Chains A and B, each alone.
Chain A
Amino acid sequence: MKNGFQGFLLRRLLVSIPLVVAVLFVTFMLVRIGGQDPVALLAGPTASAAEHEAIRAELGLDRPLLIQFGIYLGGVIQGNLGTSWLSSGEVLDEIASRVFITLELLLWGVAIGAIIAIPVGLRAAARRGSLFDQTVRAISLTGFSVPTYWLGLIAILIFFYFLDLAPAPMGRISAAVARPEAITGSYLIDGLLAAQWESARSAFTHLILPVCTIAVIACAPIMKQARAIGAEVIESEFIRYARASGLGERRVRRMVLRNSLVPILTFVGTEIIGLLGTSSLIELIFSWGGIGQWGLQAILNGDFAAVQGYVLFAALLSVIVFLIIDIAVWLLEPRGRGTA
């Protein structure tokens, strides 16, 4: 145990470094050989051939790819992710200013989705074949089949356009409300911290529809997985043994929950990563302005440095989420500590 936790953490971090470098290398090469060329876009429709070449040289795109990558990697190590050609802003600043905007949406959505889906999934596992189970399976299947984009648009149509319940899908806060001073980047939290109740309320109402959309999307796979994991645990020998030994149903359920929690938690973690891409679309239709919307625009416009920054963010988010899951599992599950 002496070097247990620290060693475990160190090993995890060391494994992550080559992973991140590999992600950077693949992304770097893919954006450059993927047919994207921002020069013509930046030069505008009236530029001459010489102006095209001048911009190419200015962006360093006339150099060999490996040298370009070396320069980029050197910058990344020093915390310089380059400059976005579309906004002229430092990529690191652009990411930093948008991280919490997206995380706020994503974490609320996944958390609400998980809070609903885990007990429902486990209950369905305990009552396999029942009407409840069938209903859960049907809902889960429907959730899988619904396109995110469509769901967001339908939510806007019903709750904003027809019923006028939700605020206009044009960002995170009403245009008529003062923005709270940036502390965390979340208008809700910043509004609460600064006691700007009107801002906090506006931010909260703007969160409801996109968060619910993500929660619905997140619900289906978590529910399905929770059901499958729960069913596996219920069928395991130690639960059968517990039942045979005459343990009460409540204690058995607690055992099922405890033994299901680790794989379910791992799965919820992967869902956060998986939904990062999905949230780009949600951000787009709700004009959210987070990192997903920014990344999507960067991809469409061939803004290389921004695309790389976006992928690096996604990779680091994956590493951090899995690290948190590993730590949680390490704490929850004593059996794995020796092999961690």
Chain B
Amino acid sequence: MRFQSLIPSWVRHALIGAACVSATLGAVAPASANTMVIAATRTPGGFDGDALKPNTQNVVVQTYEGLTKYGYKKDPTTGRLEVDASDIQPHLAESWTVSQDGKTWTFKLRQGVKSPFGNELTSADVVWGWEKSINQKRTGAFIARVSSVSKVEPVDRYTVRFMLEQPSKIFLAALTLYTPSIYDSTEVKKHASAEDPWALKWIDRNTAGFGAYHLQSLKAGEEAIFVVNPNYFGPKPYYERVVYREVPNAGTRFTLLRTGQVQWTEELTLKQIVELKKDKRVKVESDVGTGHASARINPTIKPFDNPKLRQAMAYATDYQAINKAVFEGLGTQARSIVPPIIPGTDTEAWTFATDFNKAKSLLGEAGYPNGIDITLEYSGIFWFEEPLAIQLKDSMAKAGIRVALRKITDADMRSRTAPNRRDLGFFTFMDNPIVLDPVYALFLNAHSQGASNRNNYRNTDFDKIVDAARVEQDPVLRERLVRQAQRIHTGDSSWIMTMYPGVHEAMAPCITGYVWQPDYHERWRELSCKR
């Protein structure tokens, strides 16, 4: 609809009159050609990859880079580049060797890599970063634990050695991550003190990495400005300056992108994405991603300890209706706990296509011939939770499963699904395995020791298989174990596997070079603008 038809002529004239006044006040000057303005949900709460705060991860991936990186491959159908999880390439490390027993890895660092402060990357920097993470006992320590790293030591100025407790196939993939970060320890140590030996306070407000960008200024609540590391070892990034501007309202972010005021925007709703896909002033790129919008069932809580009931719930889910009503038809059906982008995903065991009759009969076998009353708890952490909960209630009612919905606070959801509680019976959630490895995804989400096993799934056979896969070096045997574990997990039906909502990034139409990353954050250094 044209604007003119919305507003009466006298109002238009008045507004045009006001335009003349406004013209003297001046409009916003467009950002210069090599500056990218991002409409961010908020300014980063901090810059320490081990102490993640809102939007920390979004920016530390730009400032700290790994010893390794994923290779890219072309999608044969779309022609777009995508991460190749089976191809791990050197990055800050030039090459590596591994001992016969798979427990000692020796990395040769790339020489001449410098931080913005002019200090050269050495083995001492790698060791310092890993020691900091292990000492801090947060995100990086978790990465060290799951990749079985017990010790990191320097061999010479450009050689570093990692000792593993047991062989790990996850290890090389873990080194692609932003944490444990590789800091310019020469610079960071200048800011350490007796009370703060790891300079955590300084690291939280500054950056000192060997990545393509570094933080120039931060005005909390307003913007963080990043500039290119003048000593960056890789190709010179197109965007020399990135303004990470806080725009907390999704509607405003949407408008700013459409009007060309920003070149990139974070977190839009799927409705907005659908609209933007039709808008020539904006480019939208979509990928399946690894985030799985699931409804999880805690098999240790009654009545969900009954596997027939859990299977009945899966059959009583109308997946197509969910995709249409909740995910605007953009979702991809989930059939395994291992996302489709990860090699080794196995969807064979998923036989839960919507079948209300089968659900009813399973419900009868479970001892509930007259139906059952259950409660589904959801929060506002993920935008899809409430609509998904409503669809599940609607769909399950058709099989006699009467679902009462209960909204809990975000904090309650987080704390009640954390390892020390896990007392929710049936709830919605989403986890994204950041390492593109099937064993990592299985361990994280469903092993009894897995940090994101939020529904307290317990199966000793599954645990044994995953434990065996964690140390298995033979790729064929490992894949067999991975498939076996998935089949056990899917058959136990403790997750209602609904959809991968997908990753939909909206950007200025001139932007090229975007490739989806497992941490869900674009790499600014790869983006350029071709007009």
Q: Are A and B physically bound partners?
A: yes
Interface residues of A (CB under 8 A from B): 34-49, 51-54, 86-89, 94, 97-98, 153, 156-172, 174-177, 201-202, 204-205, 208, 284-287, 289-290, 293-294, 297, 300-302
Which residues of chain A come closer than 8 Å to B412, judged between CB atoms?
Answer: 35, 37
Which residues of chain B come closer than 8 Å to A39, judged between CB atoms?
Answer: 415, 418
State in angstroms the CA–CA spacing of A35 and B30 once bound together.
Answer: 44
Q: Are A35 and B408 in contact (CB under 8 A)?
A: yes
Which residues of chain B come closer than 8 Å to A48, judged between CB atoms?
Answer: 142, 419, 451
Let me know if B22 is at the binding interface, CB within 8 A: yes
Which residues of chain A come closer than 8 Å to B419, judged between CB atoms?
Answer: 47-49, 52
| Chain A CB within 10 A, most for which of B46, B249, B255 | B249
Q: Are A52 and B418 in contact (CB under 8 A)?
A: yes
11 contacts between A and B (CB under 8 A): A40-B415, A51-B138, A52-B420, A161-B255, A163-B19, A170-B247, A170-B261, A175-B37, A202-B26, A208-B25, A302-B410
Q: Are A165 and B137 in contact (CB under 8 A)?
A: no
Q: How far is the CB of A200 from chain B (nearest CB, A)?
A: 11
State in angstroms the CA–CA spacing of A88 and B196 once bound together.
Answer: 14
Which residues of chain B come closer than 8 Å to A47, judged between CB atoms?
Answer: 138, 142, 418-419, 451
Q: Which listed segment binds A: B49-57, B102-110, B346-354?
A: B49-57
Q: How far is the CB of A150 from chain B (nearest CB, A)?
A: 11
State in angstroms the CA–CA spacing of A289 and B410 once bound together.
Answer: 23
Q: How far is the CB of B198 from chain A (nearest CB, A)?
A: 14
Q: Are A170 and B39 in contact (CB under 8 A)?
A: yes
Q: Are A205 and B418 in contact (CB under 8 A)?
A: no
Q: Are B15 and A51 in contact (CB under 8 A)?
A: no
Let me know if B444 is at the binding interface, CB within 8 A: yes
Which residues of chain A come closer than 8 Å to B219, judged between CB atoms?
Answer: 289
State in angstroms the CA–CA spacing of A52 and B45 once bound together.
Answer: 19
Which residues of chain A come closer than 8 Å to B414, judged between CB atoms?
Answer: 37, 40-41
Let me know if B431 is at the binding interface, CB within 8 A: yes
Q: Are B204 and A168 in contact (CB under 8 A)?
A: no
Q: Are B220 and A89 in contact (CB under 8 A)?
A: yes
Q: Are A49 and B22 in contact (CB under 8 A)?
A: no
State in angstroms the CA–CA spacing of A204 and B26 once bound together.
Answer: 10
State in angstroms the CA–CA spacing of A166 and B22 once bound together.
Answer: 7
Let me know if B252 is at the binding interface, CB within 8 A: yes
Chain B's interface size range is 35 or more
Q: Are A46 and B142 in contact (CB under 8 A)?
A: yes
Q: Are B54 and A86 in contact (CB under 8 A)?
A: yes
Q: How far is the CB of B328 from chain A (nearest CB, A)?
A: 22
Q: Are A36 and B221 in contact (CB under 8 A)?
A: no
Q: Are B248 and A284 in contact (CB under 8 A)?
A: yes
Let me know if B222 is at the binding interface, CB within 8 A: yes
Query: Which residues of chain B (247-302) have a CB below 8 Å from chain A?
Result: 247-249, 251-252, 255-256, 258-259, 261-262
Which residues of chain A come closer than 8 Å to B10, judged between CB atoms?
Answer: none
Given the known interface contacts A40-B414, A284-B248, A297-B248, the answer about A168 and B28 at a Cβ–Cβ threshold of 8 Å is yes
Which residues of chain A come closer than 8 Å to B418, judged between CB atoms?
Answer: 39-40, 43, 47, 49, 52
Q: Are A94 and B29 in contact (CB under 8 A)?
A: no
Q: Are A165 and B411 in contact (CB under 8 A)?
A: no
Given the known interface contacts A49-B419, A166-B22, A287-B248, the answer about A35 and B411 at a Cβ–Cβ threshold of 8 Å is yes
Q: Are A175 and B243 in contact (CB under 8 A)?
A: yes
Which residues of chain B come closer than 8 Å to A176, judged between CB atoms?
Answer: 28-32
Sorted from nearest, which 8 A-B pairs have the closest CB atoms?
A40-B414, A176-B29, A289-B221, A49-B420, A49-B419, A46-B142, A168-B261, A37-B415
Which residues of chain B come closer than 8 Å to A89, judged between CB atoms?
Answer: 220
Which residues of chain A come closer than 8 Å to B261, judged between CB atoms?
Answer: 168, 170
Q: Are B53 and A285 in contact (CB under 8 A)?
A: no
Which residues of chain A come closer than 8 Å to B54, judged between CB atoms?
Answer: 86, 301
Q: How far is the CB of B245 from chain A (nearest CB, A)?
A: 6
State in angstroms the CA–CA spacing of A162 and B16 once bound together.
Answer: 11
Q: Are A46 and B444 in contact (CB under 8 A)?
A: yes
Let me know if B119 is at the binding interface, CB within 8 A: no
Q: Are B222 and A172 in contact (CB under 8 A)?
A: yes
Which residues of chain B come closer than 8 Å to A171, judged between CB atoms?
Answer: 222-223, 245-246
State in angstroms the CA–CA spacing of A88 and B203 once bound together.
Answer: 11
- Given A88, A164, A286, which contacts B27 in the complex, CB threshold below 8 Å? A164
Q: Are A36 and B409 in contact (CB under 8 A)?
A: yes
Chain A residue at minimum C-beta to C-beta distance from B18: A165
Which residues of chain B come closer than 8 Å to A153, judged between CB atoms?
Answer: 251
Chain B residue at minimum C-beta to C-beta distance from A38: B411
Chain A residue at minimum C-beta to C-beta distance from B225: A175
Which residues of chain A come closer than 8 Å to B138, judged between CB atoms?
Answer: 43-44, 47, 51
Q: Are A286 and B252 in contact (CB under 8 A)?
A: yes
Chain B residue at minimum C-beta to C-beta distance from A55: B138
Task: Produce 1/0 per residue, B20-48, CB < 8 A to A.
Answer: 00100111111110000101001001100
- Given B26, B37, B258, which contacts A201 in the complex, CB threshold below 8 Å? B26
- Given B31, B45, B262, B444, which contacts A87 in the complex, CB threshold below 8 Å? B45
Chain A residue at minimum C-beta to C-beta distance from B142: A46
Q: How far is the CB of B243 from chain A (nearest CB, A)?
A: 5
Given contacts A46-B452, A53-B420, A170-B252, 18 further A-B contacts (CB under 8 A): A34-B409, A37-B415, A42-B51, A42-B52, A44-B139, A46-B444, A87-B53, A88-B201, A88-B205, A153-B251, A160-B255, A170-B39, A171-B222, A171-B246, A205-B25, A284-B249, A285-B251, A293-B221
Which residues of chain A come closer than 8 Å to B223, judged between CB atoms?
Answer: 171, 175
Chain A residue at minimum C-beta to C-beta distance from B255: A161
Which residues of chain A come closer than 8 Å to B451, judged between CB atoms?
Answer: 45-48
State in angstroms the CA–CA spacing of A289 and B157 once bound together.
Answer: 46
State in angstroms the CA–CA spacing of A36 and B143 once bound together.
Answer: 28
Which residues of chain A come closer than 8 Å to B408, judged between CB atoms?
Answer: 35
State in angstroms the CA–CA spacing of A98 and B142 once bound together.
Answer: 36
Chain B residue at minimum C-beta to C-beta distance from A35: B409
Q: How far is the CB of A148 from chain B (nearest CB, A)?
A: 13
Chain A residue at minimum C-beta to C-beta distance from B380: A300
